[in-house]
Amino acid sequence: MIGLRIVYAYNWTDVGPTLPAIGQAFGVGTTAWGLLLASFFAGAGILQVPAGFFARKWGNRRIALLGAALLGIAAVASATAPDYSLLVLSRFLAGAGAGLFFSPGIGLVSALHPDGARGVPVGLFSSAYNAGGGLGVFVSAILLGPLGWRATLAVGGGALLLLLLLTAWLIPRSSEGIAPPTPGPFRLPAVLRSRSVWIMGLAFIGLEGASLSASQYFVPYAEVLRGWSVAFAGAVAALLVFPSVLGGPVGGWLMERFSNRRTQLAVFTLIPGVALIALPFAGLGEVAFLAATFSFAVGMVYAMMYVAARYLPGVGHGDLPLAIGLFNGIQLAGGALVSFLVGAVVSGYGYDVAWWFLGGVIILTLVALGGLAKIDRGPDLAPASAAP
């Protein structure tokens, strides 16, 4: 699952370094780049909650693998798109596959470990995204020159499909974790009405938008304003992603170790916001430091969120994919809008203002966290049917 998560994440970020080449091929500018990025994030966001329902009915393993297959096929299809509208559509479908994979995947990992011992495993699964995301930016920046943008995008999708065959063979079918059928008429699970779950979604929209957009826009920014080569810009952009691999296990461990969970989320979310606001004023060394700091803190926060979900009121074992799917879907939907707006800001005001915009949105949406009840209780969880 860790390997599949890495290659899955590669397909989220490999499009970033190719944006200028795509724009030149189809005659579109930075606002259209924002639409292309947003289409993927929108597809991922829309499928988050349905993925939780599907996992309850058909199992985490089956739905996660189906999502990875759709992502791989759509990623290969995007490399063959004859016009820009079909490229946007194929990226939307790739995002839908990503949405199907994530919450069932993390539900599977979480179910394999008892309460109090999930922090590091969930943190590793979470931070594996950042390993793959960093590779997506770095490797695609290197491949772009000799292969062109189409073959560069095809590499990620093809690699995912090959690894998927091995994963499907290795993971036993007994790990599906299908929930027992509920007697009587269908009722909307209480977890989807949980105020705490909705707040977790709204409070981190800014962070989601920034984490999705920063590495994607950094390469063209570094080319245009700093005069760096694509390969060098891609190497520095990878610092916006790779250090999260280390941050994830640290954040997961802290969230299990200490009970002041809401405070931890607030403090470590402010760090990426400040880092992006400071980025336009920094030299090369400072940019590298700020990028690494941003990434490490983002990795911590996401692992903290996924561990904290298990301690929210009304979230039982069977509800975890739905809870994560709901707040992750809210974040992705908002993050897609933020990503689109970044393209418009770059087009109208330039890259420096775009970095300030991203940092400000992180801080602005974080205000919603003040409405979250303390999540300091232990593993004596409320039943899944409890209303928050």
Query: Mind listing the pLDDT tens digit for each residue in 144-153?
Result: 888 889 999 9
Q: Is the pLDDT of residue 91 over 90?
A: yes
Give the position of tokens 């063959």.
Answer: 80
For residue 49, how far is the Cα from the chain centroid? Answer: 15
Nearest residue to 59 via CA among 318, 307, 306: 318
d(CA 321, CA 146): 41
**Predicted local distance difference test score (pLDDT) of residue 278:** 96
Q: Is the pTM of this model over 0.85?
A: no
Query: Which of the pair, 49 or 214, is modelled with greater confidence?
Result: 214
Position with higher pLDDT, 78 vs 376: 78
Q: What angle do CA 220, 45, 309 make, to 5 degrees?
A: 110
* CATH class of residue range 2-177+188-371: mainly alpha
Question: Cα torsion for 86, 89, 91, 95, to the nearest 10°?
Answer: -170
In this prediction, residue 357 carries a pLDDT of 96
Residue with tokens 């349905």, as numbered in its chain = 50
Q: What is the pLDDT of residue 75?
A: 92
Q: Angle 81-36-47 (CA atoms, 0-180°, nearest 5)?
A: 95
Question: 58-72, 118-132, 180-194, 270-284: lowest mean pLDDT where?
Answer: 180-194
Q: Is 350 exposed, middle or buried (0-12, 13-18, 19+ CB in 10 A)?
A: middle
pLDDT at position 381: 39
Contacts of residue 69, defined as CB under 8 A and 6 or more positions apart, other chains included, come to 97, 161, 164
Query: Does the CA dihedral 48-4-87-216 come out positive or negative?
Result: positive
Average pLDDT, the chain: 82
Which of 376, 300, 295, 301 is CA-nearest to residue 331? 301
Q: Which residue type, as a one-letter code, is found at position 224? A: V
Contact 160, 68 (CB under 8 A): yes
Q: Residue 373 and residue 85: Cα distance in Å, rounded?
A: 44
| Distance separating alpha carbons of residues 245 and 239, to the nearest angstrom | 11
Of the candidates 337, 338, 349, the one whose C-alpha atom is nearest the C-alpha of residue 280 is 349
What are the residues whose beta carbons fall under 8 Å from the beta carbon of 284, sequence distance 6 or more? none
Q: What angle do CA 211, 192, 177 make, to 5 degrees?
A: 85
Cβ within 8 Å of residue 171, ≥6 positions away: 1, 61, 65
pLDDT tens-digit readout, 282-330: 998 999 999 999 999 998 998 888 888 877 776 766 677 778 888 888 8
Query: Which amino acid is present at 337?
Result: L
Q: How confident is the model at residue 123 (pLDDT cuts 50, 70, 90)?
A: low
The pLDDT of residue 351: 92
